[in-house]
Amino acid sequence: MTSHPPPYDRIRARRDRFRSAIAERYDVVIVGAGTGGLCAAALLARRGKRTLLVDQHYVAGGNATVFRRPGYEHDIGLHYIGSCEHDGAIPRILRAAGVDDMRFARLGPPGDVFVLPSGERVDVPGDVAAFERLLCARYPERRRGIARYFKFVRTVDRLGHIAQRPWSALHIVPRSLGALRYFNATFAELLDRLVDGGAGRDGGARPGGDPRAAELRCLLGGWQIVYALAPSEVSAAVHVGSMMHYIQGAYYPLGGGQRISDRLAEEVERAGGEILLGVRARRIIVEDGRARGVVIAGRHHGERRVEADHVIAAGDIQRALLELVDEQALRHRTRARVAGYRWPPGLASVYLGVRRDLAAEGITSATYAIYPELDVEPAYAACAAGRLDQRPYVCASVPTLKDPQNPRLAPQGVCNVQLMSIAPSDPAAWGVSEAALADGSYRDDAEYKRRKARYGDMMIAVAEALLPGLSADIVFREMATPLTQRRYTASSTGTGYGIALTPDQFLFKRPPASTEIDGLVLAGASLRTMHGIVGALHSGVAAASAVLGENLGKAIFSSSGMLDPNSRSSAPAGVPR
């Protein structure tokens, strides 16, 4: 029997990631040790580049990390992911980075369950055709509209494969011209045109009108927690792509999200790369129109200038380009565009220990989206206004049922339960100032604690539609707000999802890895490679490709899924594969 992956703090690093000496010069310095930065660092170090990866946090991984309390281990941001089948995008990229021992548990089906305001649970089948049949049987009066919607879904799915296999565009695009007209639509507009239009002349299926139409829209939109935008804002193609990402297979990494980060970090160091934690990047050095290195500052190294041929900014795009790069180094229109990016709201997470046998109550490894109202637009409007008085939809998951052999998740007889929802990112919404956030004093502020507790109570109350009497059985509780995200990941707006996935910030309207500054490369959730774990990994591939001047993705997603071992792309001598 294979032993369970060890906790992150028992995995021995080859180097002291806080105090180790650093050189004056590297081939590449990467700012930000999230999933994208780790992936880029591993790919480049294995291909012979002398690489330094720096991060302000005390653990590598960004949102793919855990925090621990006595008896408990909680994932920060990874709750489930797709594309983890053996030939899926995530295992392919991880293998290219040297990680070939990750194990993923398939969740469900159902991987998703939607809980309606009535308390009814709707299981989402693990097959798009079965989901279409379920909805047609439930709403026969809208069969035509549902069929049109799923035709668009299949078109988006085909087009999504072009990024990995560009040559497939020759036969995919001509078959998709009819659906391309909706690529600049929001998800709400798509439903208006396709689904509601299929109801005949009565049409009016907008929320607040026909309750059955509103219910159908709610079920079709049940994946919004993975991008945190209202139906009236999110790109239709983004929503459909997110749905397909999970409906085709939802997974959880055994050992939690930290396991992915730890293995990538190990491969960086095994290939000769260096990781330095607990330091902040103060400035990206740009001289004569080219990135020349980074000025870093930390407790054990003071302030240091580290020179490099390339710099990868693998984190918040506004912080990288508006704070770390001198104003004169970028064109005015570039700075204006970056400053004008729109962002989604942040996320609030409630981490619970619940003394109940939830499996015996019929709860599974699925992710549960719980809706107190069919129309979610008011909750997003409240978020945008910085209000905490609107009952939000809540997503609930039970890690002890996703990874039941992990003894670190909760004490015996207790279930590890996590709740997530949207929340305002403005410190003022939580009763504190930007200055208090910057110096960390907000955590002890009485008003912050009061508002945080109240919002957590609201989320727990919503979750009781799934778990009646939940509040009475809680034996452990902790909560993170968007301010927590800003503190630990240096996110300027309290989100780990990057810039908002609206139609005007989707696909090629998002920035690429390369920039107008020679030697400065980007990675992270704001790129056109998209958000989430899979998007961040793709961004790492794109960043490493930009540094090397070659397309690593072509080799990774070829039929063999391997980098050419006979090229200069192979791992350096003496590095185990």
Sign of torsion, CA 12 18 21 22?
A: positive
pLDDT one digit per residue (tens) for the chain, 577 residues: 345 555 544 444 457 999 888 999 999 999 999 999 999 999 999 999 999 999 999 999 999 999 999 999 999 989 999 999 989 999 999 999 999 999 999 998 899 999 999 999 999 998 999 999 999 999 999 999 999 999 888 887 776 655 555 545 444 554 555 566 777 899 999 999 888 764 433 333 354 468 899 999 999 999 999 999 999 999 999 999 899 989 989 999 999 999 999 999 999 999 999 999 999 999 999 999 999 999 999 998 899 999 999 999 998 999 999 999 999 999 999 999 999 999 999 999 999 999 999 999 999 999 999 999 999 999 999 999 999 988 989 999 999 999 999 999 999 999 999 999 999 999 999 999 999 999 999 999 999 999 999 999 999 999 999 999 999 999 999 999 999 999 998 888 889 999 999 999 998 899 999 999 999 999 999 999 999 999 999 999 999 999 999 999 989 988 655 554 334 333 332 222 2
Contact yes or no for 415/467 (Cβ under 8 A): no
Q: What is the pTM of this model?
A: 0.91
- Residue pair 15/275 in contact by the 8 Å Cβ criterion: yes
What's the pLDDT at 171?
46
- Cα separation, 193 vs 205, whole angstroms: 11
Q: Cα 176 to the chain's mean position, in Å?
A: 28
Q: Are 229 and 500 in contact (CB under 8 A)?
A: yes
Which whole-number Å values give the CA distances from 190 to 139, 289, 482, in the listed order?
18, 44, 30
β-strand pairing of 346-354 with 415-423: antiparallel
Which residue intervals of 226-385 are DSSP H helices? 236-247, 257-270, 317-318, 332-339, 377-384
Q: Are 197 and 146 in contact (CB under 8 A)?
A: no
Q: Are the C-beta atoms of 469 and 361 separated by less than 8 Å? A: no
Q: Which residue has the tokens 């960086």?
A: 268
Main-chain phi, psi angles of 115, to 5 degrees: -105, 115
Of 153, 155, 143, 232, the closest CA to residue 189 belongs to: 232
d(C-alpha 179, C-alpha 173), whole Å = 10
3-state secondary structure of 357: coil
DSSP letter at 125? Answer: P
- List, by residue range, all CATH 3.50.50.60 domains of the chain: 8-102+255-341+495-556
Per-residue confidence (pLDDT) for residue 162, from 0 to 100: 53
CATH T-level topology, domain 8-102+255-341+495-556: FAD/NAD(P)-binding domain (3.50.50)
pLDDT in tens, 318-350: 999 999 999 999 999 999 999 999 999 999 999
Q: Residue 54 is which amino acid?
A: V
